[in-house]
Structure formats: structure tokens, C-alpha cells
């Protein structure tokens, strides 16, 4: 018989308790059509986005300063990196999605758009972690 550390009821209660650890509200969007220059009108057609998810999050700085590289092996420079805790049930977030903090006690963080850099595949008991970064300035 397997060793059960938590019963299903205890795990459900723990997941419910983690909601209190996500005091902010954030939203994720995905760019479906990038902005393009229309040669006939000589105007830039704005990008098209779809809404992925909005809900409770916890955002905190990622203090790791390891070197990061993109798909082509070129080094990337980020101005700020963060971890965002979201409910474990949110499975639709992908790399390159856009994250915006909508409500927070930190007024500097509200409204800043960041790009998703990494999504933790394995979840902790009550939440999933997403890495985001500011765009290079």
C-alpha cells in the first residue's frame, strides 16, 4: 500500500488555503496576430490579442541572475524578472504570453506588461509558477 502523506480532503483544503497567498489580480493575454505594416495605407495595423485568464496571483521578484539564452543561443538581458504564482488549475499559459498586474498593493507594479518566459510544468500543491520579465528598455 502506498504511503499517503495527505488525504484528498487535506490536499483540497491546502489548495483552498493557498488562495490567501495570492493577494493580487493579474491577467494573461496571447498575441494571435502580430502588428504589421500595411503598405497600401502606410499605417501599422495593431496586433490582435485574445484573453487567456484573469484571477488571483502572487508576484515576487526572481532574485536569480543566471544567464539566459533565447532559441538561437543569443544572450538575453532582462531589466526585471518575477515569479508569478497562479492557481494550479490554470494550464493554458504559454511562453511569450503577456502578463499584466491589474490590482496590487504595489502601485509601481500595476499596469506593467511583462512577457512570460517560463511556465512550471510540475505544480506545487496549491499553485503553478510562471516566470515573467519586463521588456528590454
For 124, residues 6+ apart whose C-beta sits below 8 A from its C-beta are: 88
For 134, residues 6+ apart whose C-beta sits below 8 A from its C-beta are: 78, 79, 80, 81, 112, 114
Q: Output DSSP code: residue 93.
A: -
pLDDT above 60 for 67: no
Name which of 14-23, 71-80, 84-93 the model is least confident about: 71-80
pLDDT above 60 for 65: no
Instruction: For residues 7-14, give the mean pLDDT.
Output: 78
Q: What is the pLDDT of residues 121-130, one digit of tens each?
A: 766 667 788 9
Instruction: For residues 88-117, give the mean pLDDT.
Output: 90
Residue 109: the pLDDT is 85
Domain 24-133 sits in CATH 3.30.70:
no
- Whole-angstrom Cα distance, residue 54 to residue 93? 11
- Whole-angstrom Cα distance, residue 134 to residue 137? 8
Helix or strand holding residue 15 (H, E): helix 8-17
Q: pLDDT-based confidence at 50, cuts 50/70/90?
A: very high
Amino acid at each position: 500500500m502506498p504511503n499517503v502523506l495527505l488525504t484528498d480532503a487535506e490536499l483540497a483544503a491546502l489548495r483552498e488555503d493557498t488562495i490567501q497567498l495570492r493577494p493580487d489580480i493579474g491577467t494573461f493575454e496571447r498575441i494571435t496576430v502580430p502588428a504589421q505594416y500595411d503598405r497600401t495605407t502606410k499605417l501599422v495595423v495593431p496586433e490582435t490579442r485574445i484573453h487567456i485568464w484573469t484571477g488571483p496571483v502572487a508576484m515576487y521578484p526572481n532574485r536569480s541572475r543566471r544567464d539566459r539564452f533565447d532559441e538561437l543561443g543569443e544572450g538575453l538581458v532582462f531589466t526585471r524578472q518575477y515569479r508569478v504564482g497562479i492557481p494550479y488549475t490554470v494550464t493554458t499559459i504559454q511562453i511569450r504570453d503577456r502578463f499584466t498586474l491589474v490590482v496590487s498593493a504595489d502601485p509601481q507594479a500595476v499596469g506593467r506588461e511583462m512577457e512570460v518566459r517560463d511556465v512550471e510544468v510540475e505544480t506545487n500543491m496549491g499553485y503553478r509558477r510562471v516566470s515573467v520579465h519586463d521588456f528590454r528598455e
